[in-house]
A and B are shown apart, each in its own frame.
Chain A
């Protein structure tokens, strides 16, 4: 194998100097390609569409969303679950792969952590949007009051609030603590307002052995906390469904099914953003094709877990003793939502098989399209859990098979992608989206390993 092929097969070039890593990543904060501004403007425009729809719904009333009995949960709840799921990307890449010492995660974990934070912030908005009357949101807050509107501690909805708050605040701390050494690098090389900004964020980090020693253990400990936390968050979201009385939802496999779906959509989103950042910030040296290849393989493995659990869900309903649940399942497969249901199954379970081909995994355009379609499939999964079930419940006189979300609902869902995109792009312009010190470690240890191997 010649040296060119060898270099292509490596996750990162071992001859990258530490100062070059600094230069390349710091340049991304100041001189992105023009595509960055195009994407930012696009995200902002999409956000404005959502904001407009929300303002209209706020002014007119929740009726414009089209939600009514029996369809009381619509796209808002489906999209809420979708965004909670996306948040699992950071935990997977940062925490799980960190504790198993998979060092190929190092160039890409920072933006995955940022995805976690912004996905949770987006998901949180949908709770408020779904409630409709925002001016009366204080009714939902747990504080002693004379209205007797006390929280029901036995409800998974309350657990949800607690779990999401814990996950969001822990993820922000994890992201921030992990970025402190990089903020110090930015502080040392920046000028003007950026120097002050990064100086405050770096907290006076000087890279002393005392700081590194405590940093190493703290980061590992928080990573260990985040893994069970992420599992609990999506299990609790699944409990919103599994502990209800709707036909087809009362299934014990729902929590692992939701967690697998979350990891799946998070992984697919990492591929999408990987390709975008690689182009926009000229990160070809860091977000390399071998790393994309590993991410794609991981996505395929999780897709198969999701497919298995999806089949388990169908089997549980099919072989269970609830005729109504079985009828609801058949309704999904043959009723007015069947196109979306079959699309969900195809995109979630069949499309991932394209990832077994190395040529596909090495093709950026193909991977971009596939990752977007996989996430479309995951979004459809959440929608297919919510809407068809409400439209075909226990009582025939409540059936509403003609229900379709209004344009206002679609507009707000659409806008949430703009909101996420806007926050994410802003983050990447202010915070190094590639972790400089971790990439230096990766290069250093790989070079050392090669040296030892050649000596042996």
Chain B
């Protein structure tokens, strides 16, 4: 049962990535790679890639938001023009396409941005309560954290690997 978490703090990305590489090579039983997390003060795509391919669904949210914004925007405006905002047009169309294109363009962007932000919050797991996860303020400063969730036996092996790579400090907790 994966009921323990261990967080090792490293001085730099090189040490952290060396520890992750050895973790991979060790092929520990009960170590689920989806339960290995890097915590860092800056983004580092190269080190993140050591964890394997992980999905980034943001663009799907963006596409959905932009299409919804543009589509519903145009339909909403056209419906309003055709019904309760109907004006005497003097032979001109009730639903004029050029002006509506401008408004649809704005709604396209508005929908895209709003749903992208929503998608970001959902995909990044925000907002979240920090009490539910191991954390060290040094990650905000200048240290790189590698967190593993597994069982007690596996965590002992992980601790050994961390120590071989000059870990600065280790925190552990039992997951309730």
The docked-state distance in angstroms from the alpha carbon of A227 to that of B135 is 37
Binding site for A on B (CB under 8 A): 37-45, 48, 51, 54, 56, 58-59, 62, 77, 81, 84-85, 87, 96, 99-100, 102-103, 105-107, 109-110, 112-114, 116-117, 119-121, 123-130, 133, 135, 137, 139-142, 145
Asked if A339 is at the interface (CB within 8 A of a chain B CB), the reply is no
Q: Which residue of B lies closest to A437 (CB)?
A: B42
Cβ–Cβ contact B137 & A210, under 8 A:
no
Chain B residues with Cβ under 8 A from A335's Cβ? Answer: none
Per DSSP, are chain A's interface residues mostly helix, strand or loop, or mixed?
A: helix
Residues 207-239 of A at the B interface (beta carbon under 8 Å): 207-218, 221-222, 225-226, 228-229, 232, 236
On chain B, the residues within 8 Å of A180 by CB distance are 126
Complex A-B: 19 CB contacts under 8 Å: A22-B141, A150-B85, A151-B85, A158-B103, A162-B103, A170-B113, A185-B41, A189-B137, A203-B127, A204-B127, A206-B128, A206-B133, A211-B124, A212-B44, A221-B59, A225-B112, A226-B113, A232-B105, A232-B109
Q: Decide if B141 touches A217 in the complex (CB within 8 Å).
A: no
Nearest B residue to A203, CB-CB: B127
Residues of chain A within 8 A of B56, CB atoms compared: 213-214, 217
**Shortest Cβ distance from A443 into B: residue:** B42
Q: Which residue of B lies closest to A173 (CB)?
A: B117
Q: Determine whether A166 belongs to the interface, using a CB cutoff of 8 Å to chain B.
A: yes
List the 10 closest pairs (A to B, CB-CB), nearest first. Answer: A18-B142, A204-B128, A218-B120, A203-B127, A212-B43, A188-B137, A144-B84, A188-B140, A214-B124, A214-B123
State the interface size on chain A (CB cutoff 8 A).
55
With A22-B141, A225-B113 known to touch, is A153 a contact of B100 (CB < 8 Å)? Answer: yes
Do the beta carbons of A222 and B113 come within 8 Å of each other? yes
Q: Does A163 contact B (CB under 8 A)?
A: yes
Please report the C-alpha to C-alpha distance between residue A19 and residue B85 in the assembled complex, in whole angstroms.
59
The answer to whether the Cβ of A86 comes within 8 Å of any Cβ in the partner chain is no
Least distance between A227 CB and chain B CB atoms (Å) = 10
Q: Which A residue's beta carbon lies closest to that of B132?
A: A204
A205 at the binding interface (Cβ < 8 Å): yes
A177 contacts the other chain (CB 8 A) = yes
A440 at the B interface (CB under 8 A) = yes
How far in angstroms is the closest Cβ of chain B from A385? 21
**Cβ 8 A contact of B125, one of A165, A173, A210:** A210
Partner of A19, one of B81, B116, B141: B141
**Contacts of A212 on B, CB cut-off 8 Å?**
40, 42-44, 48
B23 to chain A, nearest CB (A): 14
Chain B residues contacting A17 (CB-CB under 8 Å) are 142
C-alpha gap A437/B142 in the complex (Å): 10
Partner of A142, one of B85, B100, B114, B145: B85
Task: State whether B62 touches A162 (Cβ < 8 A).
Answer: no
Chain B residues, Cβ within 8 Å of A207 = 39-41, 139-140, 145
A403 to B92, CA, bound (A): 38
Q: How far is the CA of A173 from the CA of B139 in the complex (A)?
A: 25
B133 & A209 in contact (Cβ 8 Å cutoff): no
Complex formed: what's the CA distance from A217 to B117 in Å? Answer: 11
Tell yes or no: A69 within 8 A of B by CB: no
Chain B min CB distance to A208 (Å): 5
In the complex, chain A residues whose CB is within 8 Å of the CB of B142: 17-19
List 16 extra interface pairs beyond A19-B142, A185-B41, A232-B109, CB under 8 A: A22-B141, A153-B85, A153-B99, A169-B110, A170-B109, A170-B110, A180-B126, A184-B140, A188-B137, A204-B127, A208-B38, A209-B40, A213-B56, A225-B112, A228-B109, A444-B42
Residues of A within 8 A of B116 (CB): 218, 221-222, 225
Residue of A nearest to B137 (CB): A188
Annotate A187-200 by CB proximity to B: 1 below 8 A, 0 otherwise.
Answer: 01100000000000
- Chain A nearest CB: distance from B90 CB in Å? 12
A203: chain B residues at CB < 8 Å are 121, 126-128
Closest Cβ–Cβ distance, residue A216 to chain B (whole Å) = 6
In the assembled complex, how far is the CB of residue A214 from the closest CB belonging to chain B, in whole angstroms?
A: 4
* A236, B38: Cα distance in complex, Å: 45
A106 to chain B, nearest CB (A): 11
Contact B109 A229, beta carbon cutoff 8 Å: yes
Q: Is A454's beta carbon under 8 Å from chain B? A: no
Asked if A402 lies at the interface with its beta carbon under 8 angstroms from chain B, I say no
Which of B100, B110, B114, B140 is A189 in contact with, Cβ under 8 Å? B140
Within 8 A of B (CB), among A1-60: 17-19, 22
